[in-house]
Amino acid sequence: MSAIPDAARVAIQGNPTPIRSFQRKVHLGPRARTTLILSYLILILLALIYIYPFIISVAGSFKTDADATQNPLSLVPETWSNAAYERLFTTVPLLQWTGNSAFITIVVTLGRVFFDSLAGYALSRLRFPGRGVIFAGLIAVMAVPNVVLLIPRFLILKELGLYNTYGGMIIPILIDAAGIFIMKQFFESIPVSVEEAARIDGAGVFRTFWTVVLPMARPALITPFILSFQGSWNEFAHFVVSRNDPALNTLTTGVASLTSGQLGSGNQYPLQLGAAVLMSIPVAVVFFIFQKRIMNTSEGGDKG
């Protein structure tokens, strides 16, 4: 045993083999143990750095303005204050912003999941002239940087009379080239036999898609779902250029107006932090529900 370097023993132990249950009985060499403790320390320190800003924001949102400024690091407010949240739900139209965000997110998410899988299915399964051209166009579209589209999108929305409407905020982001790509990859990975059976039984193309293929694809739909939900809930730039009516503020543009100080002078950190905390809750919830799935999405993409 001593002939094997410490590192190798570490690796062998770590293998997901049946010996796993005996792992703990095998003792690490002193060098390996020091390295391990050291990397724990580094990782814990890093994890603190990554998490602390969020904890501090929650704490800060319950402080008074003065307390937040004087004791920025403390995790416990000197005096608990709900003032920030009270203002958010009274003077600040946070509920209206939330309503707009929720409405847009729901429509965009449902629309994207449906249209992405529809187009992905056609591109992977149906044979029709022009398919190759469409797919190539899709790849080209994915290469256009988003910020470059801000002015063009504004121009077309004005031109079509969609500026300052929900339609203008929703329709341009209703299709997601990356989502179509993911769904196409997915449909290519499942066998055709089931659909062919349905088709031979006389089901039409759309019926086959709707009643046979889509239910089968449900696990794969989670990826575009998460993607669309986070993308549209967190979208900012598009809502900056597609509206200027305060009644159409989403949480992102609304909170941005708080952050860039359009609501009175002086620092209002508890107010801003409270808004930041509240707007992060839905994505955090989705993240924790689908955590396992999200952590694996990149593996799914890797197979391409």
Partner 1 sequence: MAKGIRSGEARYGWLFTAPAIIIIGLFLVVPIFLALYVSFSNWNGLGSPLGNSTFIGGENYSKVLVESGLAQRDFGTSIRNNFYYVLLVVPLQTALALFLAVQVNRRILRGRGFFRTAFYFPSVTSSVAITTIFIFLFTASGAVNALLGFIGVSGPNWFADPSGIIHNLLRGVGVTSPPEFLTAPGPLGLQWWDWVSGPSVAMCVLIILAVFTTSGTFMLLFIAALQNIGSEIDEAAEVDGAGSLRKFFSVTLPMLKPTLFTVLTLGLIGTWQVFDQIYLTGKGAPGKTLLTPAFLAYDTSFEGLNWGQGAAISFILFLIIVALTLLQRFILRDRDLGRSGERRARKADRRLHAEAAAAAAAGRAPMGDAAQKETDS
Contacts 24+ apart (CB under 8 A), 275-278: 275/88, 275/92, 275/94, 275/251, 276/57, 277/57, 277/58, 277/61, 278/88, 278/94, 278/98
Pick the piece of the chain touching partner 1 (CB under 8 A) from 76-84, 88-96, 156-164, 212-220. 156-164
Instruction: Give the shortest CB-186-to-partner 1 separation in angstroms.
Output: 11
Q: What angle do CA 6, 11, 15 make, to 5 degrees?
A: 145
Nearer to partner 1, 15 or 90 (CB): 15
Binding mask 6-25 for partner 1 (x = CB under 8 A): -xx-xxxxxxx---------
Exactly one of 236, 246, 247, 289 binds partner 1 (CB under 8 A); that residue is: 236
Binding segment for partner 1 among 46-54, 77-85, 86-94, 213-221 (CB under 8 A)? 46-54
Q: How far apart are the C-alpha atoms of 270 and 82, rounded to whole Å?
A: 9
Output the smallest distance, CB 210 to partner 1, in A. 11
* Segment lying near partner 1 (by CB under 8 A), choices 35-43, 77-85, 87-95, 213-221: 35-43
Q: Where are the beta strands (DSSP E) in the chain?
A: none
Site for partner 1 in 173-232 (CB under 8 A): 173-182, 185, 196, 199-200, 204-206, 209, 223-224, 226-228, 230-231
d(CA 32, CA 26): 12
**213: closest CA among 122, 144, 285, 83?**
122
**What is the C-alpha to C-alpha distance for residues 252 and 234, in angstroms, rounded to an integer?**
7
* Residue 144 in contact with partner 1, rule: CB under 8 A: yes
Part of the chain binding partner 1 (CB under 8 A), chosen from 79-87, 88-96, 131-139, 212-220: 131-139
